[in-house]
A and B are shown apart, each in its own frame.
Chain A
Amino acid sequence: EDKVVQSPLSLVVHEGDTVTLNCSYEVTNFRSLLWYKQEKKAPTFLFMLTSSGIEKKSGRLSSILDKKELFSILNITATQTGDSAVYLCAPRYNNNDMRFGAGTRLTVKP
C-alpha cells in the first residue's frame, strides 16, 4: 500500500527561525512530488520536484527531492507569521493522480 509520511506533525517556532519539513513516500508509479501550503481554504501550489538533487527555490522557501531514499524536504528560512499554515506534500503518479500526506502544521509566533 502506498504511504506518504510527513514529519513533524506540528511545529511551533518564532519569527526569524529556520524550519525543515520532511516528507517520505513509498508509492508505485511515482512521477514527481508536489508541495502545497494550506491556510484557511484550498491548498496553494509551492513546488513540483521531478529530479533528485535539484533544489527549487522561491524566496525564503526551498525544496529538494531524493528519489533514492524516497524523501523530500521543504525549508523555510527567516520565518514570518504569514508562513503559519499546514504544509502538504503530495506524490504525483504517472497517471497524473496526486495523493496528499497528512501535513505539517507550522505556527510562527511573533
Chain B
Amino acid sequence: EPEVTQTPSHQVTQMGQEVILRCVPISNHLYFYWYRQILGQKVEFLVSFYNNEISEKSEIFDDQFSVERPDGSNFTLKIRSTKLEDSAMYFCASLDRSEGGYTFGSGTRLTVV
C-alpha cells in the first residue's frame, strides 16, 4: 500500500537553529498538509498546500515557518529559528482527489534544546 514517508524520524536541534523536515507524499496525491502534535495535546493543523501554493495556514504557521515542494516528490517544512515550544511531533499528510481519507506519515519528533 502506498505510504507517506517522513525523514528524519527524530531530530534534536538547538534553540535558534533552522530545521527542515522532509516528507515524500504519495505520488499521485494533489493536496499536502503539515500537522503538529505537542506531547499530550491534540493534533493541530499547520498548513495545506495545493497547486504549488499554500491554500490555508493556521495562526501557528507564522513567519518562522515555510513550506516548499521543490520537485515533484518532496514536500518540506522549514522552521527558521526554532524555539523550545516548537518541540512536537510533526506529521505530513497527503490526499488525492477522491473522497477517501488523508494518509499520514509516521511523523518526525522534533526536540528543541
A-side residues, CB < 8 A to B, are 32, 34, 36, 38, 41-46, 48, 50, 88, 95-103
0/1 string, B12-54, CB within 8 A of A gives 1: 0000000000000000000101010000001111001010000
Q: Closest CB-CB distance, B96 to chain A, in whole Å?
A: 10
Q: Does B68 count as interface, using CB distance less than 8 angstroms?
A: no
Interface residues of B (CB under 8 A from A): 31, 33, 35, 42-45, 48, 50, 55-56, 89, 91, 95, 99-107
Q: A34 vs B89: C-alpha distance in the bound complex, in angstroms?
A: 21
What CA separation (Å) do A96 and B105 show in the bound complex?
18
Residues of B within 8 A of A100 (CB): 35, 42-45
Q: List, in ascending order, chain B residues with CB within 8 A of A102's CB.
A: 42
Complex-state Cα separation, A38 to B93, whole angstroms: 14
Q: Write the nearest CB–CB distance from B89 to chain A, whole angstroms.
A: 8
- In the bound complex, residues from chain A placing their C-beta under 8 Å from that of B104 are 42-44
A99-B101 Cα distance, complex, nearest whole Å: 13
For the residues of B in contact with A, the DSSP-based class is strand
Inter-chain CA distance A46–B106, complex, in Å, is 16
Whether the Cβ atoms of A95 and B43 lie closer than 8 Å is: no
The number of A-B residue pairs with CB atoms under 8 Å apart is 53
Report Cα–Cα, A23/B42, bound state, in Å: 14
Q: Identify 18 residue pairs between A and B in the complex whose beta-carbon atoms are under 8 Å apart, listed by A's number.
A: A34-B101, A42-B91, A42-B105, A42-B106, A42-B107, A43-B43, A43-B104, A45-B102, A45-B103, A50-B99, A95-B55, A96-B50, A97-B33, A97-B56, A98-B33, A98-B102, A99-B45, A100-B42
How far, in angstroms, from A14 to B60 measured CA to CA in the complex?
Answer: 39
| Cα A95 to Cα B100 with chains together (Å) | 14
Interface core residue of A36, A42, A88 (most chain B CB under 10 Å): A42
- When A88-B43, A98-B33 are in contact, do A45 and B99 touch as well, CB less than 8 Å? no
> Are A34 and B55 within 8 A (Cβ)?
no
Pick the most buried of B42, B44, B99: most chain A CB atoms within 10 A of its CB.
B42
Contact in complex: A48, B95 (CB < 8 Å)? no
**Is the pair B50, A48 in contact by a Cβ cutoff of 8 Å?**
no
